[in-house]
Structure 1
């Protein structure tokens, strides 16, 4: 390369060893920065300036390094935050284990009283009775809606002051009224059938054998309840204790899953930490 205007600005050596003019960008082929003595003096005042010049060099690729460092650091912080959250959850394991042991003791005390089957049967009957009550409410509501529909769709009488008797328009409207009355009568019959069905259900329920069985089981439960309460045991808590026991066991299983996840995250954290070190 030559700055002499009379010579080609850029030359290369060919296969024969001769210099030949060529095209190209001098700044990319000769990545050299020339500083005056004054500029060098100014740079010496701030050593960081020299590092900034080096960082800007395309061969150094500092911007790529910086982007990767930021990405790795962000990922590392996210993983460490997740690790902290999981450790907080795992720290509750001893407390959870103690609560489960206490539940097991209470449940065992009730079941060893010899009335476990009756208590479980009563709990099952309670759920059945609650479902029956909801169904009966639905049936009653449906019956009331049918009766209300009959009232709404039953046609009103024509206004004789507006429509003349035996008039063609009057006859057409009366025919339409008759059709609606016929529909109202059919719905009324369904509404009556619905009410009769509900009444029949109540009569059958009062005399059904399954209802008698429920009544017997309820009386047995009430007798056992008195006996258990005299022993300091509240049988009303039994269903809740069983439900809570299941929840606590699931939570302990989740602790094991947390521990496995923690091991994986620690491995990822170590790898990213190594990547950050090697990226320097």
Structure 2
């Protein structure tokens, strides 16, 4: 009788094989195919002032067409909803920022997880209901970790305790402006999310749930209070523009069979 391979060996080999076979690019390096822009005050699909553009194979959040920023918070939304997956890319935040951007938005971007569909966002909605993996860069001498978590319209739990504040810093080091940073997020429905910066897990949280009482703060449509606490297990990913230029490259996705 043929002997079965040891379980430990199978577990060790399977992730490596899956990783090699299942990563796929979701940005083609030529145009915005597969992505939908949603700029605050503009309808979904209107890439106002070419906020999102492609240059030399890099996806750029650009403010070259702006004289001044006036709360045109922007999101480039991947067209396919997802539940359990891994997403990885490289990003760098470059300068200078555009005049008029909020102080907190300087050297600030993010990737939104389990967000709303582009057509479900209101015309005057600054951010999608989602969980944000915040992407930051620090000025010289500044301590400013990246890979933080923020919660527009949702709640999460960290180490078994509901997160009370809007944003929580990760354990990452500070990366300076103009440096490319490798970022990965691992998402398992509403159960678990990990942020990984340069190969190191810097933030982990779970129990993602809707918190509609917050929606009015960023312009989302009022939601039925009865939906409060509903698990948020599926949605759209989006790359964020908040008034400071940022570049993305090598954007890849691996869907997980959960």
TM-score by length of 1: 0.16
TM-score by length of 2: 0.17
Higher strand proportion: 2
